[in-house]
């Protein structure tokens, strides 16, 4: 096409395109930044798609699946660390923040993937490991080399309490003392995670400047935001008070402790606000790995004046059990009640897959649809985990010698590690699920024969098609995008029901969270919809035809438009 003809075509297309697809920095018709109406999707690069058949996924593999992500309706992918790394913690031990690990490709491959994503409307979010580096990072190699090295104070070095005694009682979350002796300078360094992941000293302004520059490097390369790793652990009490000891032992045999002096220190918020200031200059979004015990703690991450991060993940769904209407209703009400924009997550690369966590062996696929029916109809932004949309199961190792994740070997059998939730994406029913023609780095569960993209795309009743339709609804239905959240039948212990209400419009969502058939009835007069009828938008195990009474199969889902009388 000649350039002038292309320009005319663009001018004709532009107004409607601009409305549907806000630009990276732009806001939509409701004044919302793009990420509020986006569906995010976590990609574990080792396991998404292997383009060179070495058994490990790579960036060209991800690039080759952009069309699939577009079809599914994904707007942004968060790629877990793909930077050079010794891979002790599978990339969460970064040895260079501004390059790509050769195992995954090159910076050129990254640029190509980013450009392809842009074409398909899939933006790229990278994972910033802010708390620590690899012990092979040049900063640490310098720091460890002598007590007077200019990088010494980039990490946390201390004398022991006495011979063979670490500076205090802090334990690593990955087992053993959090202090590692270094013979080179006869001091200990601090590591919240593996000894190969020394903690950065965020009290040193040089660390801050260097990490802020890392974000600029990637923003300039087209990255639209970061998922910030392990932010809770950025700061430690400089006086090194011992943590209070709790009853019992952890999976690695250490006494449990309350991590009072080395997690969630108030200084964390200053760093987040600093990262946000840089992000704002690039219209970027910050997502937090924010483990919280209450909605008050969650609210804190947004910042009292919204100077914090825009998308702290609410990770409570990864812990809430069992599936119970009361439990989930109360939690949702709490999060919505903060008045902030929620971020919903069912699972990730550290947590047993939601499909397996909630499976009852009888209704597993129905439960997967029910969970999708919830996270994609709540107000806020969902972050899906790759494979969730096809009902991928965990595939836990059964023998210690098969475990790849070091914590699984250290903590066996109590802690089996995270291999089970990181297995290759199941693309088809061909050998190795179409992920590789080599030997996949982790074994694929046998359920790939039925739970895979190609097979499910052909089946209108599949989990995958349910997700695809829901995502479309999530992004196009005004009440689902903008409406408030109103709990219905708040005392029902089996069925979670709510309205998403926007002025005169509403969508009703009804989720039978029980293994039994249920009958529910509604009176929507209080909500201004007395005598209304329903028009089904998406259902599974309920047709809603007898509304205001409705019948549900076990774990049935009904999403419908409420039509005013």
Residue among 131 and 182 whose Cβ is closer to ligand GLC: 131
Contact 553, 366 (CB under 8 A): yes
Tokens 């076990």 — which residue? 554
User: With binding defined as CB under 6 A, does residue 232 bind ligand GLC?
Assistant: no
DSSP 222-237: T--EEEEETGGGS---
Q: What's the chain's length in residues?
A: 565
In angstroms, give the least distance from the CB of 230 to ligand GLC. 4
CA distances from 419 to 44, 317, 351, 395 (A): 12, 21, 10, 7
Helix axes 463-476, 364-375, angle to 10 degrees: 10
Residue among 340 and 419 whose Cβ is closer to ligand GLC: 419
Q: Return the residue of 42, 50, 229, 561 that touches ligand GLC, per CB under 6 A.
A: 229
Rg (CA), the chain: 24
Residue among 379 and 397 whose Cβ is closer to ligand GLC: 397
* φ, ψ at 381 (rounded to 5°): -110, 125
In angstroms, give the least distance from the CB of 207 to ligand GLC. 16
Chain positions 157 to 196 lying near ligand GLC, rule: CB under 6 A, are 193
In angstroms, give the least distance from the CB of 200 to ligand GLC. 12
* φ, ψ at 407 (rounded to 5°): -65, -25
DSSP 345-370: ES--TTS--HHHHH--SSSHHHHHHH
In angstroms, give the least distance from the CB of 199 to ligand GLC. 10
Question: Order of strands, edge to edge, in the sheet holding 484-488?
Answer: 484-488, 495-502, 505-512, 557-563, 533-540
Binding mask 103-132 for ligand GLC (x = CB under 6 A): --------------------------x---
- Could you tell me the sign of the dihedral formed by the alpha carbons of 396, 400, 405, 411, in that order? positive
Active site residue 421: no
Residue among 349 and 363 whose Cβ is closer to ligand GLC: 349
Closest CA to 81 of 181, 202, 193: 193
Between CA 445 and CA 430 the distance in angstroms is 13
Chain positions 345 to 364 lying near ligand GLC, rule: CB under 6 A, are 349-350
- Per annotation, catalytic residue among 101, 229, 340, 505: 229
CA distances from 219 to 225, 229, 313, 384 (A): 7, 17, 21, 23
Residue among 442 and 473 whose Cβ is closer to ligand GLC: 442
CA distances from 10 to 7, 15, 16 (A): 5, 9, 10
Q: Return the residue of 41, 48, 78, 92 that touches ligand GLC, per CB under 6 A.
A: 92
In angstroms, give the least distance from the CB of 480 to ligand GLC. 29
- Per annotation, catalytic residue among 109, 135, 289, 415: 289
Residue 291: count of CB within 10 angstroms of its CB: 19
Residue among 194 and 552 whose Cβ is closer to ligand GLC: 194
In angstroms, give the least distance from the CB of 90 to ligand GLC. 7
Binding mask 282-301 for ligand GLC (x = CB under 6 A): -------x------------
Residue among 422 and 451 whose Cβ is closer to ligand GLC: 422
In angstroms, give the least distance from the CB of 280 to ligand GLC. 25
User: With binding defined as CB under 6 A, does residue 230 bind ligand GLC?
Assistant: yes
In angstroms, give the least distance from the CB of 421 to ligand GLC. 10
Closest-CB residue for ligand GLC?
Answer: 92
Active site residue 42: no
Residue among 156 and 378 whose Cβ is closer to ligand GLC: 156
Closest CA to 276 of 302, 231, 308: 308
User: With binding defined as CB under 6 A, does residue 89 bind ligand GLC?
Assistant: yes
User: Which residues have C-beta within 8 Å of that of residue 508, sequence separation ≥ 6?
Assistant: 488, 497, 498, 499, 522, 524, 534, 558, 559, 560, 561, 562
Lookup: tokens for 408: 């699984």
User: With binding defined as CB under 6 A, does residue 43 bind ligand GLC?
Assistant: no
Closest CA to 502 of 420, 418, 430, 564: 564
User: With binding defined as CB under 6 A, does residue 97 bind ligand GLC?
Assistant: no
In angstroms, give the least distance from the CB of 347 to ligand GLC. 12
Residue among 78 and 328 whose Cβ is closer to ligand GLC: 78
Chain positions 308 to 337 lying near ligand GLC, rule: CB under 6 A, are none
Residues with a known catalytic role: 229, 289
Binding site for ligand GLC (CB under 6 A): 89, 92, 129, 193, 229-230, 289, 349-350
């Amino acid at each position: 096409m000649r350039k002038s003809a292309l320009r005319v075509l663009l001018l004709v297309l532009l107004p409607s395109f601009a409305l549907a697809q806000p630009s990276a920095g732009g806001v939509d018709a409701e004044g919302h930044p793009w990420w509020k109406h986006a569906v995010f999707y976590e990609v574990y690069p080792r396991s998404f798609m292997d383009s060179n058949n070495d058994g490990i996924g790579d960036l060209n593999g991800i690039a080759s699946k952009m069309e699939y992500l577009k079809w599914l309706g994904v707007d942004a992918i968060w790629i877990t660390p793909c930077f050079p790394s010794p891979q002790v913690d599978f990339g969460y031990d970064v040895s260079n923040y501004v390059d790509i690990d050769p195992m995954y490709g090159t910076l050129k491959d990254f640029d190509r993937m980013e450009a392809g994503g842009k074409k398909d409307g899939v933006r790229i979010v990278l994972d910033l490991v802010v708390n620590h580096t690899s012990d092979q990072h040049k900063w640490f190699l310098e720091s460890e080399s002598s007590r007077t090295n200019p990088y010494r104070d980039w990490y946390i070095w201390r004398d022991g309490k006495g011979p063979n005694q670490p500076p205090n009682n802090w334990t690593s979350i990955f087992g053993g003392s959090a202090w590692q002796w270094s013979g080179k300078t006869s001091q200990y360094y601090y590591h919240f995670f593996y000894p190969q992941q020394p903690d950065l000293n965020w009290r040193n302004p040089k660390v801050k400047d260097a990490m802020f520059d890392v974000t600029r490097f990637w923003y300039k390369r087209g990255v639209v935001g970061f998922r910030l790793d392990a932010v809770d652990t950025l700061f430690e009490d400089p006086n090194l008070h011992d943590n209070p000891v709790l009853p019992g032992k952890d999976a690695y045999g250490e006494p449990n402790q309350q991590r009072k002096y080395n997690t969630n220190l108030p200084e964390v918020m200053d760093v987040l606000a600093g990262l946000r200031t840089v992000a704002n200059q690039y219209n970027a979004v910050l997502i937090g790995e924010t483990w919280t015990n209450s909605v008050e703690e969650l609210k804190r991450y947004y910042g009292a004046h919204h100077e914090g991060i825009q998308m702290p993940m609410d990770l409570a769904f990864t812990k809430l059990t069992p599936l119970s209407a009361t439990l989930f209703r109360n939690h949702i009400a709490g999060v919505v009640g903060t008045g902030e924009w929620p971020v919903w997550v069912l699972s990730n690369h550290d947590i047993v897959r939601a499909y397996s966590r909630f499976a009852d062996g009888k209704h597993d696929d129905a439960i997967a649809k029910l969970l999708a029916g919830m996270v994609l109809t709540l107000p806020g932004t969902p972050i899906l985990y790759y494979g969730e949309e096809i009902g991928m199961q965990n595939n836990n190792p059964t023998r210690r010698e098969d475990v790849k994740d070091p914590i699984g070997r250290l903590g066996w059998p109590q802690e089996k590690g995270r291999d089970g939730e990181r297995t290759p994406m199941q693309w088809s029913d061909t050998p190795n699920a179409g992920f590789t023609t080599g030997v996949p780095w982790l074994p694929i569960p046998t359920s790939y024969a039925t739970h895979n993209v190609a097979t499910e795309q052909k089946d209108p009743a599949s989990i995958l098609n349910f997700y695809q339709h829901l995502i479309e609804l999530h992004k196009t239905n005004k009440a689902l995008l903008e409406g408030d959240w109103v709990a219905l039948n708040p005392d029902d212990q089996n069925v979670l029901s709510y309205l998403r209400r926007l002025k005169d419009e509403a969508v009703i969502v009804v989720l039978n969270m029980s293994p039994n058939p249920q009958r529910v009835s509604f009176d929507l007069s209080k909500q201004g919809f007395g005598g209304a009828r329903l028009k089904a938008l998406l259902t599974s195990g309920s047709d809603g035809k007898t509304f205001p009474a409705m019948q549900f199969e076990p774990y049935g889902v009904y999403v419908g438009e409420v039509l005013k009388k």
